Chains A and B, each alone.
Chain A
Amino acid sequence: MTGNKAAATAVKLARVEVLSAFPVTPQTTITQYLSEFAANGEIKGEFVNAEGELSTQVIVQAASRAGARTFVCTSGPGQLYMHHPMHSTSSSRLPVVMATVHRGNKSMQPDHTDLMSQTWTGWIQLYCENNQEILDTHLMAYKIAEDKRVRLPVAIGYDGYVLSYTAEPVEVPSQKSVDDWLPPYEYQSILPKDYDPATGGRGFGGGGRDPQQGWITHHEALLNALPVIKEINEDFGKVFGRKYGNGLTETYKTEGAEAVMVAMGSLAGTARAAIDNLQADGKPIGLIKLKCYQPFAVEDFKEYGKKFKAIGMIDRNVCLGHGGAGYRLIRNSLYDMDERPKVLQFHAGLAGKEVRVGDFERVGEKILKAAKGDKVSQVEWV
């Protein structure tokens, strides 16, 4: 099934109660599949075909606050349009789950700038490599978002076209197994009464003794989510037989490797093939897949920093005037180490630019050169 069908199927399995969407390429077919499921009675929940993305986000926010399990999905421009209410969804600590089918902001084709530009709204961001992972991550996302230790909205990013419209074999768990694993959502506010809009408060940012408190609490909530994401990934693995690294990052063929490349989303699949070819040639390089971008797995990268002499981050994004988002976070994670590895920056696949396995083989060789101590350029656009 296609990536979009995998997402819609997961939403059905999760027994979502209120869904809202507005069609935007390449997310459109999720909206269509969900409409079909609703028309055939396969989804019992309320499906609101809204008039724009801003409304879809506000609809699921209000529905989540009223105690419903919710789903919303979008792409590129729609993601940007719903930015404002995304802040209040996360500030209100509502467990909304959203699929972002990546479409960059400079073309119709995918890169990660749509979702990454929402980083400051403080949602959890999980990225997917293939269609099976899309289905599984949606199921995990509800469990993560609704966990009382977390209670934050979760965005699931996957590349438009490459995954959204491409069919792959996907194993669909039975409804019973999902029902057993994912109990119904029960609203219970975790905000202090004075802050909780549901009890007459004005929400974080509305004042209080320390006006910064809303930001502090929200930031800490994201950091505290890290072990819970790992725990839920483990648990999913035990029940369904599939897990994704430790839930935050995943290593691929890193045993004996001197260096690693780091990739996100569908580019991780291309990178796996490149690693296979490089290792077949006896080149000691492995792969780290970055699944959870926000919050960032600083501790994981400290461990990788000890093990490998060079790390090359492949960013399918650029924070203009700053650099790659993943690259900056990795370098930041390693700064306090006594002996730091080389960290190289690669930008690849932006605006849907084609990336071939050979491109990443070359990237791998360059990272290995840096690991040997050869001088190489710091930043490269593949």
Chain B
Amino acid sequence: MDELTITPGSACQGCGAALAARLAFKALGPNTIRHGVPCCPDSATMTPRGGGGVFEGGGAALTGTWRALKAKGITDVQVVGFFGDGGTYDIGLQGISAAAERNENIWVITKDNEAYMNTGNQRSSSTPLYAMTSTTPVGSVIKGKQTGKKNIPMIFAAHHVPFVATASVGYPEDLIAKIEYGKTLTGFKMLIIQSPCPVGWRYDPAKTIEVARSAVQTGIWPLYEITDGEKFKLTYKPRELKPVTEYYKPQARFRHVTDEQLAGIQEDTTKNWEKLLKSDELGQLLI
């Protein structure tokens, strides 16, 4: 596999998103047109790079590129969006949903670092419950974000597209295998890669992989794939989940979270994991 990103690029130390780009584009290969929207670390993915576009227009830009190639009879080029959670979960959601509904032959890959890191850690709809960001500060009255993380993979599964999967920079083999499988499919493919951000999440930059692995091992960020909106498979199944405190404690964005709040998060996480286990057992997504 060829390296298709500029390493180290202009990313911060320990940048999970830069790693997500490196792994994803290695697996995608050179016959790829990339669309980016404003996000960090854009410079890490300078090659391969397609046309510019506007922040809110990710899904439409991919559509236009794919349809033009189709009109010209070119069908072996992969049209790939590499967006942040802002571009996928928020400002670009409408256009990506429409592209999914039309089942455009495109990839939407999201490096999810759970806030608008490019502009300095403002909350997004991907920011988890209670997390401190620059727009959900820990004040004397309100402490951190008061609502949970939007469940984007399940929203897109409900579009009944060929492929929706989660991945983590902590599990590169899983990430690459999902892209390689997706490459064999025609139609809309989505991969959401949890990409820890040491600057925004406030942990030691040397610990990015540890934090990423801990999200998966605690069940906070389960790894799974959904084909055709129905067939469900957990791709990482620990015998037992680790307690969520192992994920929360090293990150200063959660420093203010109380034990009672943590207990609530543990309860929700366990409940969700059990539901996913049941879906995995059936091979069928239960909603």
Contact = CB atoms under 8 A, between A and B. Distances in A.
A92 B70 CA distance: 22
Contact of A58 (B54, B72, B102): B54
Contact of B64 (A44, A59, A84, A92): A59
B57 A55 contact: yes
Given A62-B68, A63-B64, A85-B57, A92 B94 contact: no
Given A17-B72, A46-B70, A65 B95 contact: no
B70 A88 contact: no
Interface in A54-68: 54-68
Interface string A75-98: 000000000110010001000000
A104 interface: no
Contacts of B63: 48, 50, 55, 59, 62
Interface residues of B, number: 31
A52 B63 CA distance: 13
Nearest to B47: A200
Contacts of B69: 66
A58 B68 contact: no
A62 B53 contact: yes
B244 interface: no
A203 B50 CA distance: 11
A199 to B, nearest CB: 9
A58 B71 contact: no
B64 A20 contact: yes
B202 interface: no
A269 interface: no
Interface residues of A, number: 34
Contact of B98 (A50, A61, A88, A92): A50
A62 B51 contact: yes
B61 interface: yes
Interface in B57-80: 57, 59-65, 67-72
B71 A46 contact: yes
A68 B95 CA distance: 21
Nearest to A203: B52
B65 A65 contact: yes
Given A61-B51, A84-B54, A197-B49, 16 more contacts: A18-B64, A46-B68, A54-B54, A58-B54, A58-B60, A58-B64, A58-B95, A62-B61, A62-B62, A63-B67, A66-B33, A66-B72, A68-B71, A68-B72, A85-B57, A202-B52
Interface of A: 17-18, 20, 44-46, 48, 50-52, 54-68, 84-85, 88, 92, 197-198, 200, 202-203
Which 7 A-B pairs have CB atoms at the shortest separation, nearest pair first? A62-B64, A66-B68, A58-B60, A58-B57, A51-B98, A55-B60, A68-B68
11 contacts: A54-B57, A58-B95, A59-B60, A61-B64, A62-B61, A62-B63, A64-B64, A64-B68, A65-B50, A88-B53, A92-B51
